[in-house]
Structure 1
């Protein structure tokens, strides 16, 4: 009977896919395990994962998916927090908390046959740590983001202790975080950490306290990309007064395959890219939850048109306009005027395959960590436009430390103008500065390639992780 590893992701597509790729990686190198992925059913939008789960079920029999029953999240609010201000992070923590009974029953069911050697827990599932503790299952946390954002996260208890104010009250005041290349403005910290009167803040605080006490933290990164952050964590600078956590940098975890959805042929945008000159196309895509207002979509379109650069743009309809066609979302005549040098895809494109295509010379993205790793793996320089979660922290890493990206600057009203986009896209694709960024990202691409080879740091970290699990 094979030893078992149980994986518990949060329901977001980026989290589920990334942690399941970890399961695939473990089985590729250590096939003696069976792995069960326990999937919570969220009552809110998370990005479709059906095709991905079906594909893994059909191709990797050692991975089993166990779906928990649907539950409805309810959140109590403090006197200073209205129920209308609930955010997806709060709901995600609440989902884990309310699923604890179902999760407990699932673990008992799984443990009837193979021995559960370890639980790998998404950090948004921290409320379920108490269940694995009751069952005495060694628990590791999985962080789909990078080490730089982890340093900020682990420092939250220290920040909380050192000030009685919420970060949003500190505004432009700078905070020195061990492991970050430059001080951070308080207002650029992740939204859930901004207001200590909100419930989500305390979920994050509890998680930051609990994670270092686990068997280890698995991070989707390459240690050579984030040496400063790694050293700060291992030296104990991020967790003063307690032992430094064990860190396993096993990335990058990137979805493999040809990019086609189940039952579909090769995406037409890849055929279009085949006909474009090498390095000439800027690719714009903003994650599974990245949406813009109608005015912002029009500014993006005008900026692309004025730049004269070839482009592949994934457009998601604004909230409340799910069925809108592309013509109604974009400036009148835009599609016709740019049809010889542009391709607009509605809602989705095979991002990994696009970024691996030789015609792509730049990537405008929200700076989600998965997108950053995919761009580096493809050797594509970035123009970053942080939208949510830890995007602003990732921006600091890729712009200030790795120096493989430019960053957009919004107006006072939050809008990024057509002129700003035109200037930066042109710089990224056609300037000497853009060429230098390209050279740097190609160097990092080689570092990542070396890390993934036998004896490379990511493979050594994976071996160390498995050795730790087997000792349990």
Structure 2
């Protein structure tokens, strides 16, 4: 497959991202790689998300945005359609609202002189499989989650496991068909699935969307073969076909690291200067992604644990949004910053995570185990301290346990960590005793980099995917 600098001219693909940060960024990265493979691409967004495409459109003038008005609806909280960083509960509202783009897409398709031959859409847009069927084209699911986590999700929606006691949130659900036999307490399962079982809003939309994913023609996953080979083999068996492409890790180029997920070159420069004063692998990076906001009690115990650890750290702290009660979330304990001055740095809001993880001073990452964060840490060769909070994060943490590059410090979005345990694990993560996890992380990092190199498994999968789309 010849790589084209400007793209365009080949088979026409419609790309439809889901407007949440952890979903949108990797699909835009995938779109970049597809454009390099000479495909003609239209990417669908609503007006208030159009500006997020700007870097992609500058790189690839051949990509055409399809801007459709956000569907009028009374069921979605005010302002949810404006942002990639969805508030808690916003996912279900957004999924229900975006279904109303069905007819406008059909109208656009039927009036296009050369309409798409395929739709690549996010896993939260499973209804586009029905749309593709009506248009007589193929739909491909894009999964921003890893293969192990997706195996659990697909099993839930195909088999709909029943609870023995609907009041028991700790009842264990086992997945005996999946490699390594994962099992989870009910409260750790996908909140979308639990909402469906409990008869919550949008239940039928959720079921139809997830069945649509399983029935779609193909699956594209932001992972790489060497990381999840057994789970990839399982997924092909589960789906009954080989149209599964592992194309990750989907990461920004060297020059785009600082701007990934935000942009503040001055802050990025200050952070780099702060890191530069420390020896290799002696700083712990602490961040819980674009959505999780800690309660004040969690903040207090986390701060206390970091203080007791004696370790150097950078803490990227997300500030509360509209959905959080004023004064109950995200407050850094009084006097904490002064007490850790010199060895601790607090960054409020966005931080250049990919650039941070790539700095040699970073020796461990305390993370919520969102898949983008996991892949970024693996690519950088940084072992993790894990605090999974919801969604696919428990499966991701289990995978890190399995790979021996993760140590569990806490779990659950409402759980308050034990400051002594936290202090002990943080301290050991940047001590000489952490040599084995660091060595394993470096091996995985090398595998990740090789997978996206020109003879790597993910690079070949992208070529194969481009050829697949281009076949008549």
TM-score (norm 2): 0.86
For 1:133 and 1:221, the matched residues in 2 are separated by 27
Partner residue in 2 for 1:14 = 22
Partner residue in 1 for 2:180 = 181
Q: 1:306 aligns with which of 305, 308, 316?
A: 308
Compute the displacement of 1:152 (Å).
Answer: 1.0
Q: 1:101 aligns with which of 100, 103, 119?
A: 103
Distance 1:464 1:98, change over 3 A: same
**Contact (CA 8 Å) 2:174, 2:181: kept in 1 or not?**
no
Q: 1:389 aligns with which of 387, 391, 398?
A: 391
Compute the displacement of 1:418 (Å).
Answer: 2.1
Q: 2:220 aligns with which of 218, 225, 228?
A: 218
After superposition, the CA RMSD in angstroms is 2.9
Which sits farther off after the overlay, 352-361 or 164-173? Answer: 164-173
Partner residue in 2 for 1:127 = 127
Which sits farther off after the overlay, 309-318 or 203-212? Answer: 203-212
Distance 1:115 1:417, change over 3 A: same
**Contact (CA 8 Å) 1:315, 1:345: kept in 2 or not?**
yes
For 1:88 and 1:298, the matched residues in 2 are separated by 27
Partner residue in 2 for 1:46 = none
**Contact (CA 8 Å) 2:289, 2:370: kept in 1 or not?**
yes
Partner residue in 2 for 1:316 = 318
Unaligned runs of 5+ in 1: 43-48, 77-84
**Contact (CA 8 Å) 2:298, 2:416: kept in 1 or not?**
yes
- Residue aligned with 1:453, SS: coil
Matched, 1:353 2:363: no
**Contact (CA 8 Å) 1:11, 1:41: kept in 2 or not?**
no
Partner residue in 2 for 1:36 = 42
For 1:2 and 1:144, the matched residues in 2 are separated by 25
**Contact (CA 8 Å) 1:14, 1:370: kept in 2 or not?**
yes
Distance 1:306 1:299, change over 3 A: same
Distance 1:129 1:159, change over 3 A: closer
Distance 1:287 1:16, change over 3 A: same
Q: How does 1:358-369 map to 2 (within 5 A)?
A: 358-369=360-371
Distance 1:121 1:185, change over 3 A: same
Distance 1:267 1:53, change over 3 A: farther
For 2:91 and 2:331, the matched residues in 1 are separated by 29
Compute the displacement of 1:157 (Å).
Answer: 3.8
Partner residue in 2 for 1:297 = 299
Distance 1:170 1:338, change over 3 A: closer
Residues 171-219 of structure 1: CA deviation (Å, up to 9, x unaligned): 3324124334243124222122224122455444333322233221000
- Residue aligned with 2:272, SS: helix
Distance 1:201 1:171, change over 3 A: farther
- Residue aligned with 2:140, SS: strand
Which sits farther off after the overlay, 283-292 or 447-456? Answer: 447-456
For 1:209 and 1:168, the matched residues in 2 are separated by 27
For 2:420 and 2:358, the matched residues in 1 are separated by 29
